[in-house]
Amino acid sequence: MGKNKKNRYIIIGLFVLVSISVIISLFCGAASVTITDIIKLLKGGELTKAGRIMLYVRLPRVAGAVIAGMGLAASGAIIQIILNNPLAGPNIIGVNAGAGFFVVLCGVMFPTAYSVLPFAAFIGAFLTVMLVYYIGKKTGASKITLVLSGVAINSFLNGATDAIYTLNEESLLASNAFKIGGLSAININVLKTAGIVVFLVVFLLMFFYNELEVFSLGEETAHTLGLPVGYYRFFFLLLAAIAAGASVSFSGLLGFIGLLVPHIARRIAGEEVRDYLLASILLGALILTICDTISRTLFAPYEIPVGIILSLLGAPFFLWILFRSRGK
């Protein structure tokens, strides 16, 4: 079987798995929802308790898991290609923290401007990723040093976010939920804006994947092949920041999706950028949907924030990558 045909089957298989996980997640939870309830909801009859749970709780939450998983995974894949660093991910190098800082700042200054949050998150994410890239270029840093720079920026931004929460007592109760990351209280207005943004990023990635393929060969090779490196570097980092920022704006600081997923995608789909990106995007949606389903059913009616599940899975994975990358 040819490689392209094999990858095509992998992508189709992942799409089917995402669809199955979404259906299962819609019917899982502390409250029971049956097929009959769904049929009544679709017919437009009287809205039952189960129908309200499905319409106002389950659907936004599952949609949020799919959108955030896609956005964070796409951001991580782009950052790893552009920075040529397998340890780079939106949560590791401070991109998520930058987005989160601007979201919190915007939320305190404009508490009812929900539709603005994705744009505030984008600004924070973009400024952070450009700062990390600038440090790397100026210092000629190794892969590990670049990650350590990102960790320092991440720590600073988390401290600044904590300071805002501390000084603003009304938002203090929400601070832990946002920092851990979760999908239990999604604002539908933010989700709509973020969903449009993430799908737009995915569309642009599929349109410009050839340029990203050339970029994956290294900046010197890309320049030799005639690619305007500076322009496309800025463009792709812009897309990574937009995707991460849109996801963080409603899901909080979810960790390790942007780091873990691209590695798994590379192993199952190979290095060809188009297949690698599609696999990353679908895997991100799949893993976050599964983790969110586990988080709210494992100890139902109580639930664990999905960010905790991701951290328990992602931290050992990051250490494994770190040991594999030593000396490189």
Q: Which domains does the chain have, with CATH numbers?
A: 3-324 (1.10.3470.10)
Other residues' Cβ atoms within 10 Å of the Cβ of residue 326: 7
Q: Which residues contact 253 (CB under 8 A, 6 or more apart)?
A: 91, 96, 97, 100, 178, 179, 180, 181, 307
Q: What is the pLDDT of residues 146-189, one digit of tens each?
A: 677 778 888 888 888 888 877 775 554 455 666 777 787 777 77
Verify cis geometry, omega within 30 degrees of 0, for the bond prior to 301. Answer: yes
Q: What's the pLDDT at 289?
A: 93
Tokens read off for 266: 């590379």
Q: What's the pLDDT at 177?
A: 64
The pTM of the full predicted model, rounded to 2 decimals, is 0.84
- Which regions in the chain score pLDDT beneath 50? 172-173, 327
Q: What is the pLDDT of residues 69-82, one digit of tens each?
A: 999 999 999 988 88
Q: Which residues contact 229 (CB under 8 A, 6 or more apart)?
A: 215, 219, 222, 223
- The burial of 5, by beta-carbon neighbours within 10 Å (0-12 exposed, 13-18 middle, 19 or more buried), is given as exposed
Q: What's the pLDDT at 312?
A: 83
